[in-house]
Amino acid sequence: MILVTGASGFVGRSLISRLVNDSLEVRACVRKGHFPLSDTVDVVDGHDLSDNTDWHNVLEGVGVVMHLAARVHVMKDKVADPLAEFRKVNVDGTLNLAQQAAMAGVKRFIFISSIKVNGEHTEKGRPFTENDAPNPQDAYGISKLEAEQGLLKIAQQTGMEVVIIRPPLVYGPGVKANFASMMKAIRRKMPLPLGSINNKRSFVYVENLVSLIVCCINHANAANQTFLVSDGQDLSTTELLRGCAVALNVNTWLLPVPKKIIEVAATLLGKRDVAQRLCGNLQVDITKTRTLLGWAPPITVEEGLKITALAMPD
């Protein structure tokens, strides 16, 4: 039996679909409220991630936990102490689940972390690797790092195997936030001042991430390892926008505004972090993932963008 937390989330829905298609026995922990899943999935409703949640019944008969549930990155967090709030869920809640999983005899705990554990940006041509010293820059990234560290300690103490996966930005059908806004702007043929951005960023199509998660269920080499994941093809912001236009079958209107002007304007408007994401580099090296697991992204960037575009609502 495989337990998936966060099963009703963006990645969780794709993961559940893949596990069902692979005829695996699945128990899905979803948010409160009805969420339609396959009739073959054992759905568990309403378990919060906290340090005192009782997972005893949920973990009965489970051999592998895929832990996707988390307090996600918030662009404008209004709580008084964001780090404390992230720790309650992403650290305390995760480690409570993992400790109970180990006591219940779970063999492997697959944790979906974040590339934010490595940091926010790289030098062009010098991608992040699993061996880099962690350098999280926000409360979300710090909480994910602390969860990773706690999980590895539990693995040492109990013998339960832990697998950590750090994805960059995930896209695919149903993607929301900035990626969805970008595709909508392209579809509406809005002029964008991003026609000459020569950066490089890594992304991962949701089915590629799911493919790696599934690969880690039984692979002997995955035990107690950390893996980075991407589509294996880095894009500049300009290339990404043009790729989205091709997928949407529309013409682009990208103005060749110099990067420096964009950065200065964004800083004056209090949007320096936005400029960093649009103009900066964030590359990941998936060499270890490829070689140790014999894994490769099954879906190309072009295919992923096309499928994402076709699924966009009108």
116 within 8 A of 137, measured Cβ to Cβ = yes
**The tokens of 8 are what?**
């009703």
CB count, 10 Å around CB of 82? 17
Tokens 């800083």, residue located = 267
3-state SS class at 163: strand
129 within 8 A of 228, measured Cβ to Cβ = yes
7 within 8 A of 33, measured Cβ to Cβ = no
Question: Residue 262, Cα to own-chain centre: how many angstroms?
Answer: 27
- Catalytic: which of 140, 171, 205, 227? 140
The reply to whether 171 belongs to the active site is no
157 within 8 A of 103, measured Cβ to Cβ = no
SS percent in the chain: helix, strand, coil, step 5: 40, 15, 45
* Residues tagged active-site: 140
